[in-house]
Structure 1
Amino acid sequence: MSEFRRFGHLDAREIRDTVQDVYARAYAESIASGDPFESLEAAMRRFDAYTSGSGFDLVVLYFDGEAVGQAWGWPLNENSRWWNGLRLDEEEPEFTTEDGARTFALSEIMVAREHTGRGHARALHDELLGGRGERRATLLVDPTNEHAYSRYRKWGWSRVGALRPGWEAAPTFDVLIHALPLQLEASAV
């Protein structure tokens, strides 16, 4: 039996060991590659930084009580460094203007290797983004990761540019955008 559990930034820190375990199982090959950006230590340093402020949203998928996948992100505020270094394919004024309600940054989706190929990544994607109040979402994808890239396109994401994050040893990623359905206020229904 599967279930989703949602965690804010403080609760996410409480389950750090679970997050690390899922990361290690999902990215075992990448970790073994020796790439410093892909190391478990580097990944968990990024996780610790992401959970340092409010707004962080983590969804963990459990199957028979075991964490098998997770996805997380946060809304971009006016002080966000997410867009630093962005090279847009087409110039669009105000593209990087943020206010905390415009863009949700989907940072990670991962499923433990032994549970891939069952639709869990899409379910995590939909669970994390479903009900968000932002107008759009963004994510970074390795342009050489054809499997992930094709999935994102199938799910409605489109490329708008490229960006190299400020993390040590970070590669250059393609930047994808996806419009989110506007959520109706309960009082408007």
Structure 2
Amino acid sequence: MTEPEFRHYTAAEAREIRDTVEDVYRRSYGDAIASGDPFDSPEAFMLRFDAYTDPARGWGFDLVVACVEGATAGQTWGWPLRPGAAGWGGLHLDDGGLQDGDLKEFTAETGDRTFALSEIMVCAEHTGRGLARALHDELLDGRLEQRATLLVEPDNERAYTRYRKWGWYRVGWQRPSWENAPRFDVLILPLR
């Protein structure tokens, strides 16, 4: 693979390249879009993107866009979870023996405890070349948080296999509050 060039964008800057973000989504998730699932529609995806980049949130949003030979080839983004973050709403941890205090401790956020990796996507013509891992590493390398979290659909074997290989492990499941959201497995990666 030609070495990718990475560009980082804040939330405000990401909104300025909204068309590029949607284009990468369409070129990365063609099968999901074609399935007709309302959660995977480009319109629903972009509504979520707009919420993630809402200037009122000020979450430290970081978008990384990868370019290969001058063409946009993929993207990833995330943000640190702030105190009182809604990101853990509806979390069901795997260990059924946890007490309420344990769940509260697990989900207690300080602003520098957990980085939420929201998306990694690689355009279809660039898959299988290590770009997803390169995006992953570019976004997470140098983070100051203790851990990262992400959501993955349990039947997405390709992504799941890669995440495990990269050191992620399952801690439970969650169904986000987004309309038509599926049930996701919750994964964690220690960062330091």
Q: Which residue of 1 aligns with 2:127?
A: 116
Q: Which residue of 2 aligns with 1:86?
A: 91
| 1:22-171 equivalence runs, <5 A | 22-52=24-54, 53-54=57-58, 55-90=60-95, 91=98, 92-93=102-103, 94-171=105-182
Q: Which residue of 2 aligns with 1:5?
A: 7
Aligned equivalents of 1:22, 1:48: Cα separation in 2: 15
Aligned equivalents of 2:26, 2:45: Cα separation in 1: 10
Shift of 1:65: 1.4
Letter in 1 for 2:34: A
Aligned equivalents of 2:125, 2:111: Cα separation in 1: 36
Question: Which stretches of structure 1, 4 residues or more, deviate above 4 A after TM superposition?
Answer: none
Instruction: Say whether 1:173 aligns with 2:184.
Output: yes
Aligned equivalents of 2:125, 2:179: Cα separation in 1: 30
Deviates more, 1:102-111 or 1:75-84: 75-84
Q: Cα RMSD between the aligned structures?
A: 0.8
Q: Which residue of 2 aligns with 1:185?
A: none
Letter in 1 for 2:91: L
Aligned equivalents of 1:130, 1:41: Cα separation in 2: 31
- TM-score when scaled to structure 2? 0.92
Shift of 1:72: 0.3
Give identity over the alignment, percent: 65
1:128-182 alpha-carbon deviations (Å, 9 max, x no partner): 000111000000000001110010000000000000000000000000000003x
Note the residue ranges of structure 2 that are not aligned, 5 or more in a row.
none
State the secondary structure of the residue aligned to 1:5. strand
Aligned equivalents of 1:32, 1:165: Cα separation in 2: 22
- TM-score when scaled to structure 1? 0.94
State the secondary structure of the residue aligned to 2:167. coil
Aligned equivalents of 1:62, 1:30: Cα separation in 2: 23
Shift of 1:125: 0.2
Note the residue ranges of structure 1 that are not aligned, 5 or more in a row.
182-189
Shift of 1:79: 2.4
